[in-house]
Each structure stands twice: as structure tokens, then as C-alpha cells.
A and B are shown apart, each in its own frame.
Chain A
Amino acid sequence: MLQARGLTKRYGGQLALDRVSFELRPGEIVGYLGPNGSGKSTTVNLVVGLLEPTAGDVSLLGIRAADDPIAYKRLIGYVPEEPTLYAHLTAGEYLMLVGRLRRLPAGTLQKRVGALLRLLQLHDSRYRSMTTFSKGMRQRVLVASALLHDPRLLVLDEPFSGLDVNAGLLLRTLLQLMASEGRMIFFSTHRFDMVEKLCSRVIVLSAGRIVLERSVAAFARDGADSLEETFVRATGQPDFAPLARDILDTISGG
């Protein structure tokens, strides 16, 4: 189980995350929603161990990130929001680099890399450096690198960004399958449709605090507000109609 308790993060005097607590059980897919600047990426970086919290702690399968960060990170696969990777390498080279850094046996690694390149439709581009890759192709490489070591927890930050329809459907199906086999999936997104289709639970963040945590099934009940309506209300979003009107007036006016 992933347990985040009272996670707080300050950057200088600015409070980015304020006593955030949640749990993620094996087999669960949790969607993490929030407007820009609400603290989603900070939470993700704390959960994967790239940042240390100012207060609070996070643990996975009983291992506290603060006590044994190396053992903790071994259990995690991570797909960052931006496709940041060493683009001068080919996809295969990047996956080999990641696999060797994760100390996977050479034979296993070569087999997995070859298979993942084929399954994620990167095989035809295996000799090209990733500088020529589209965002979607880089995203597929990152997904492959996060899966290489068969992690217990998969943390994804906007994983569907840049993926085409087929790759998106494949990833969605894969995440569902992984969860059904007991792995935990935590993904941060702006896409309500993906949360509704994929997640068992949703957590909504606003201004560094959790403002909503609910089962996704609850939104499907008769008479219940949709996820989008609930999100707008919970995060105090303004009415966008006047803003849209102003924009249109600006471009159509003299």
C-alpha cells in the first residue's frame, strides 16, 4: 500500500502543498486532479522520491521514502509530465541505460527492450536518435522505461499527453490489466474522461490541499453531479463564459 501522511512542501516562503494525506491500495487506480499550480506535480515528485517533503512522509509497502529512499524508488515506475529524456540516444539505448541503472540482468533486459520496442511500435525507429521523435513517441519510450523493472507502483504525470488514439487505448488497457494483477497506479491528469473510464477513485487538489476524495462510481449514480461539475465547484473555478466572450470580442472587434 502507498501511504502519504501530512505531506507538506514549501518553496522558500511559499506553501505548495499543505498536509496532504491519502492512501493507494494494491489493485487501485487513483486519478489526481487539480488546476495548474494546485500542487499536483509537487505531490508526484514527493511520491516518486525526487523531492523531500518539508513535513509529513510517504511510504510504499512498509518502506518509508525518508528511511530507505533507494529501496523505496526500486518499487516505482515513473512517467514524468514532460518527455524529458536523453534525446541523443536511440529508444533502445535509452531503455538499456535505464535497465542497466536498475541492475536488470543483461539477458532479461535485452529481451524486454526488444519486446517493448515492438509492442509500443517503436521498433521501426530503433536506429533513430530520439531528437527526431514526436512527443507521442517519446512518451511511449518513457512508458516503456517505467515498465522495464515491473514496478509495484506506477506513477504517471499526464501519461496520455501526445499519444495518438491507438497508443492511448493501449495504455489505458495496460493500466487496467496491471491494476487487476495487484499493482498500484497513481496518475495525475487534467482529463476527466480518462479518470472516469480508468480510475476507481479520484482525489482533487486545489491550492495545495485536498478538496475532494471520492469513488468514481459515485459520479455515475442517478442524479449525481458529473465529475466535471464537482471539480469546478470544489476548486472554485470562475464562470468561463464571460471570459470566452471577451476573447471572441477581442479578435472580432476592430
Chain B
Amino acid sequence: MRNHPVAVLTRHFFTSLFDFGVLSEDGAESLKRLLLGGLAFAIAVGLLLARVFMTKYGMLAGAPPEVYLREVVADHAFLMALSMWVVAAAMALASQSLFPDEIDFRILMAQPLSRAEVFAAKLAALLLFAGLFVAGSQVALLPLGGLTLIGAARAGTLLPATIAFAGSSLAASAFAALGIVAIQGLLVLLASRSRLLIMSGAVRSLLIGGLVLALPFVAQLPATAGAFAAHAWWLAWTPPAWFAGLERWLLGDATRTSLALQAASAAAGAGAIATASYLTLYRRFDRMTFLSARALQGSGASTSLTAWCRGAPVRGAVRRFVALTLRRSVLHQGLAAGVLAAAGGLVLNSLLNADGWDRLDAAARGALAGTLLWAPMTLIFLAIPGIRLALSVPLDLRANWIFRMTEDIDGRAEVADAAGRTVLAWAVVLPIALVAPLQWRVLGWGSLTVLLVEAAIGWVLLEYLMTDWGRVPFTCSYIPGKGFVPQMCVKAFAAYVVFTVATGLLLRLSIRHPGIAAGAIVILGAAAVILRTRSLRRARQTNLMFEEQLPSDLSPLQLNAD
């Protein structure tokens, strides 16, 4: 049985779900260990959460039943959201392997295997993969789930309450998994063959970014007991609330019927789309997996070559190369989106927790200003090294030779300039632009001064952090943790605290005193210009860094040795 072709193929598909389509064999193996380690970490976090919530439930022990129940509903929505998040993240990362693809078709259909066996193996691998993360997340949250059921145990309704909670929680996780399969299924069926890879990568990056950005909202759920009691309108737009509603409905609460219906229809809809996608692909596997020459001629990658001719030759070429790589490379796009989303999630969490959005009087504006001045500085501080890291991850070291063959002195400076401008756009301009509307709403005209000072601060930090950049993006390996990691973390945290406190103070002063703002802009601008001039001069004088393994660097096999 173990050596039956379907079993062998299932093992192969299951393993390939862990390689995420972007890594080498060694990398996939490390990532597999990392993911399994992550599951163990999640269990530890689950225990820690239980410890934190223990205090809350200790205080609720003497509360009236309706207050207790309100808190339980919100906490169950939180637990379901965590479990959904873990499952959705795992499925999104593996989204390129959720359906049999062209390579599977070309390789496996040439073997003595039926189409049904290939699809059965793929489905089995998918179920195992999703099941692993569903089970892992449920186990991780078991202690906290048990804690929330103490009230039901006291009331003598432990069994139905446990069944309703477990059933709803499993349904929520299944919905998360099916939702990702359905999205990928729609892509496979609807996207043209030539665009599928690019679109699939873009959707994956969006999903990962969205999931990271959703974390602050997930963290807010335990504090939404009042909203559940008041049947707040936004619950209808919050998937974990649907399944918390389903749980209540299963326990006989008729006021949650609409949420329960939403949960059931969402899960059924995702399941139906996923099943239909699989069935359609099964029936038309040969037609759908082969590249249609017509589709390839009509639509595909960028059509315009004029874009390459803008600006200085090398700078323009490298910027375009970076833009196309970020658009088409799943790994680099995912890294950039992940970094930006992580920084955005941190800021979003603070913005959600800030008090005063609903009234915006003078006191509220003062309180919100602190968060709004801190937010872009935090985004910039995290995004600059993050995007720099994304540009440092190599693309194809063997293809570097073309940059080595065409390197020249002015070109080195143009390369540094191109990298700097890319980081400036993504890690300085974008964060400032994202927070600017909120700043405008709270600070009014003062936000314009803030905007200029923020831009000057961001520019200086960028020039400082890019000083030693001496490479074409994506051509050198980045080895994280070259230094002593705990020491690096302490230094980075200290730098972050000093940076955000100092810039926060400067921004506050700039709002009150335009003279200080003008002085700061001039001084910071001058500092940025000096740093830039020095770094471009240095770039001209230093050879570009490359890391590659030329075929001739390898030891020959000596097949012809005497």
C-alpha cells in the first residue's frame, strides 16, 4: 500500500506543498522545519494566551450570566479568527501547488498513471496539508478554548457547548482553507495561461499582505463583546463573527440566525467553487494546461519597450529591471509585500487602539496626533531595511554575468541611485502617502508642514542606510544574522526607540513653530544631499559586488583524467 503509485504521488505532492515554489530543495527543507517549529511555537503561544485570559475569566466568575456569555462570544470569535488566520496563511503560501499544473501534466501523464489517480493524490495531499494546520491550530488553542467553556461546565451544558464550539471552529478553519482554494481555482480557470503565473504570484502576495494587515483586527476581537451584544453592523462583514454566530445559533440563540446563515453560505460557496474548479480542471486538464499560442501572442508580459528609455541609461535600466522583478518574481514580491504589511499591521494596531476617532475634539486631536506622528516614522524605519532586504535576495546568480560585462564607472553610481530611488518610493513616499490623509483629517493645514519634515527625515534615514549599497539589486546573497543576533535585536530596538522619540518630538515642534520646521527641513535636506553625494562618489570608486558561481569555478569531474 505504501508503494502504491497514488500513495507515492500523494507523498510527493504533500512535500511539494512545503516548497512554496520559490525556494531551493535545501531552502524548502529548512522552511518545512521552520513551519513545523512554527506549529510548536503556536502551541506555546496558545498556552501563554490561556494564562493571560485566566485573569479575565477569574474576574468574570462572579459576573451575571449575560455579561459572561457576551465575553465568551467575543473570545470565541477571536479563537476562530486565529485558527482561520493560521490555516489561510499556510494555504496562501502553498497556493501555487493547490491544483495540478502544467508540469504535473507533462511529467505524470507520460507515466502509467490515470488522470483520476493524479487528481486523487493531489486532493489527498491537499487534505493532509490543510488538516495538519487545522489540527495544529485547534490543538494550539485548546487550553484557551477549554478555559472559555468553564462557564458552560458550571451551567451543566458542557457537552453541547463543546460540540457547538468545536464544530463552528472547524467549519471556520475549513472555510479559510476552501476560500484560498476557491480563489486559486478561479484564477486557474479564468486567467489566461500566459498571465497565470504572474497573477497567481500577485494574488498570493496580496493575500499574504492582507493576512498580515488583518492581524491587528484579529487582536481587537476579544474587546468586541459590546459590539456582539449590540449586533453591530460590521459583524456581517467579519468572517470570524459569522462562525461565532453559528456557534450561538447551534446552542439555540435565534438572534444569530443571520450570522449563522452567512457562515453556512460562505462555507458552502467556497466549497462549491473549489469543487467546481477541481472538476472543471479534471475534465479539461489537457486543454487547460497547455500553452495556447494564440493566448500567448495576444496577452502577456509588458509590451512597451519605450519605458526602458527613460532617464539615465543604467539607472533607467536597473529601475525597470527592479520594477519588473518585483512584479513577476513571487519570492521578491512576497517579501516586499510581507515587510510592508508587517510594518502596516503594527501601525494599524496602534491606530485602531487610539482613542478619539469618533469625536475629534481638541483633546482627541491632541491624543491622536501622537499616534499619527509616530505612525509614518515607524513605517519608514521598518520599511527601508525591509525593502533593502527584498532587493538583496538573489534572483539568478548565474545570470549576473551580463551586469559584470557591462559595468562602468558612471554606471556604478547610477546603480546605487536606482536602488536608492526604488527604496525611496516604496519605503518613504508610500508610507507617508498612506498616513497623510489621516494626518490631514486630524492636523488640518499643519499636516503639510509635517509632511515635508517627514519626507526630509525619511530621505536622511534612507541615505544613511543605503550608504554601503554597492550592488545591482537581486545579484548578491543576503545572509541574515551575520552578527550576534540578540545584540543586533537590542541595537535595532534601541535605534527604533531613539528614532521614533526624537522624530516625534521634532514633528510636534514643527507643528507649533514653523521656523523650527523650516530649519529642520533645510538641515535634514542638506544632510541628505551630503550623504547622497558621498555615497555616489564612493559608488563610482568601488567595484560592484557580485556573488556568483561561474561554471569554471566548479571542480571538473575529471572524466578524462589519465
Contact = CB atoms under 8 A, between A and B. Distances in A.
B444 interface: no
Contacts of A100: 308-309, 313-314, 316-317
B301 A85 contact: no
A236 B560 CA distance: 9
Given A93-B324, A100-B317, A14 B555 contact: yes
Contact of B560 (A35, A93, A110): A35
A73 interface: yes
B300 interface: yes
B300 A97 contact: no
A236 B321 CA distance: 47
Given A86-B321, A93-B301, A132-B291, A98 B402 contact: yes
Contacts of B70: none
Contacts of A113: 305
Contacts of B305: 92-93, 96, 110, 113-114
28 contacts: A36-B559, A37-B559, A37-B560, A41-B551, A41-B552, A48-B405, A74-B408, A84-B398, A84-B401, A87-B396, A88-B324, A88-B328, A88-B395, A92-B305, A93-B324, A96-B305, A96-B308, A99-B308, A101-B411, A102-B406, A110-B309, A114-B305, A127-B194, A127-B298, A127-B300, A129-B300, A132-B296, A235-B560
Contacts of A127: 194, 296-301, 303
Interface in B312-338: 313-314, 316-317, 320-321, 324-325, 328-329
Nearest to A104: B313
B398 A93 contact: no
A16 B552 contact: yes
B111 interface: no
B560 A50 contact: no
B309 A109 contact: yes
Contact of A129 (B328, B411, B555): B328
Nearest to B550: A45
A42 B552 contact: yes
A18 interface: no
Nearest to B309: A106
A16 B558 CA distance: 12
Contacts of A190: none
Contacts of A145: 402
Contacts of B320: 93, 96-97
Contacts of B306: 110
Identify the 9 closest CB pairs spanning chains A and B, nearest first. A37-B556, A100-B317, A127-B300, A106-B309, A101-B406, A96-B308, A84-B398, A42-B552, A41-B552
A78 interface: yes
Contact of A103 (B314, B401, B403, B556): B314
Interface in B231-253: none
For chain A, which range describes its interface: under 10, 10 to 19, 20 to 34, or 35 or more residues?
35 or more
B406 A50 contact: no
Most buried by B among A51, A86, A98: A86
Interface in B401-416: 401-409, 411
B301 A129 contact: yes
Contacts of B296: 125, 127-128, 132
Nearest to A157: B551
Interface of A: 11, 14, 16, 35-38, 41-42, 45, 48-51, 70, 73-74, 76, 78, 80-82, 84-90, 92-93, 96-104, 106, 109-110, 113-114, 124-125, 127-129, 131-132, 145, 235-237
Contact of A11 (B308, B395, B409, B553): B553
Interface of B: 194, 197, 291, 296-303, 305-306, 308-309, 313-314, 316-317, 320-321, 324-325, 328-329, 395-396, 398-399, 401-409, 411, 550-553, 555-560, 562
Nearest to A43: B552
B406 A45 contact: no
Nearest to A49: B405
A87 B556 CA distance: 27
Most A CB within 10 A of own CB, among B301, B329, B401, B405: B405
B552 A128 contact: no
Nearest to B398: A84
A36 B405 contact: no
B325 A88 contact: yes
A143 B395 CA distance: 22
A116 B18 CA distance: 42
A97 B328 CA distance: 16
Q: Which of A36, A90, A101, A124 has the most CB of B within 10 A?
A: A101
Q: Which of A97, A102, A145 has the most CB of B within 10 A?
A: A97
Contacts of B329: 88
A73 B557 contact: no
B243 to A, nearest CB: 40
Given A49-B405, A73-B406, A128-B300, 17 more contacts: A36-B557, A37-B559, A49-B404, A50-B550, A76-B405, A86-B399, A89-B324, A96-B309, A100-B313, A101-B402, A101-B411, A103-B408, A109-B309, A124-B297, A128-B296, A132-B291, A236-B562
